[in-house]
């Protein structure tokens, strides 16, 4: 059995790891409008997904969101609603006969090691 201080060091290491990746998050930049991550607007959602696509910590962010079953927002490049990932989102109202290019959201690939978790 590990000594208590060893356990405590392990917990501190885990906290440091979590703090480390969160500190590198692209959405923590002062130039990013974080409202776009929790918006109903397709343009905002597309903007959030584009920010995530270039984020160095996409993988741990998405894994955390999947495990927490995030109820809302864009996390790790994916749109979540009620704990599930949505592939797409429609505008309010009737779907147009000819979909506008701005109606399609950017596709951010799911890291290979998270595909099984994402489809569970």
Residues that bind ligand SF4 (CB under 6 A): 25-27, 51-52, 55, 57-58, 61, 75-77
Nearer to ligand SF4, 42 or 55 (CB): 55
Residue in this structure with the two tokens 């599930």, named with its chain if needed: 84
The Cα–Cα gap between 74 and 80 comes to 6
* Sequence-distant (≥ 6) Cβ neighbours of residue 42 within 8 angstroms: 89, 91, 102, 103, 105
> Which residues have a Cβ under 8 Å from the Cβ of 77 and sit 6 or more positions away?
49, 52, 53, 55, 58, 62, 108, 109, 110
CB of residue 22 to ligand SF4, shortest distance in Å? 7
Consecutive H or E run containing 51: helix 42-53
We find the least distance from the C-beta atom of residue 52 to ligand SF4, in angstroms, to be 3
Q: Rank residues 66 and 76 by Cβ distance to ligand SF4 and give the closer one.
A: 76
**Is 45 or 52 the residue whose CB approaches ligand SF4 more closely?**
52
Closest to ligand SF4 by CB, 3 or 24: 24
Nearest approach, Cβ of residue 35 and ligand SF4 (Å): 13
């Amino acid at each position: 059995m590990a000594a208590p201080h060893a356990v405590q060091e392990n917990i501190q290491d885990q906290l440091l790891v979590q703090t480390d990746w969160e500190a590198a998050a692209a959405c923590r930049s002062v130039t990013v409008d974080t409202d776009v991550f929790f918006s109903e607007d397709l343009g905002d959602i597309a903007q959030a997904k584009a920010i995530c696509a270039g984020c160095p910590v996409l993988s741990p962010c998405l894994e955390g969101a999947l495990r927490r079953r995030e109820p809302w927002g864009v996390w790790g490049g994916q749109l979540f609603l009620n704990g599930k990932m949505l592939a797409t989102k429609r505008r309010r109202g009737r779907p147009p006969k000819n979909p506008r290019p701005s109606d399609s959201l950017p596709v951010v690939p799911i890291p290979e090691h998270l595909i099984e978790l994402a489809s569970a």
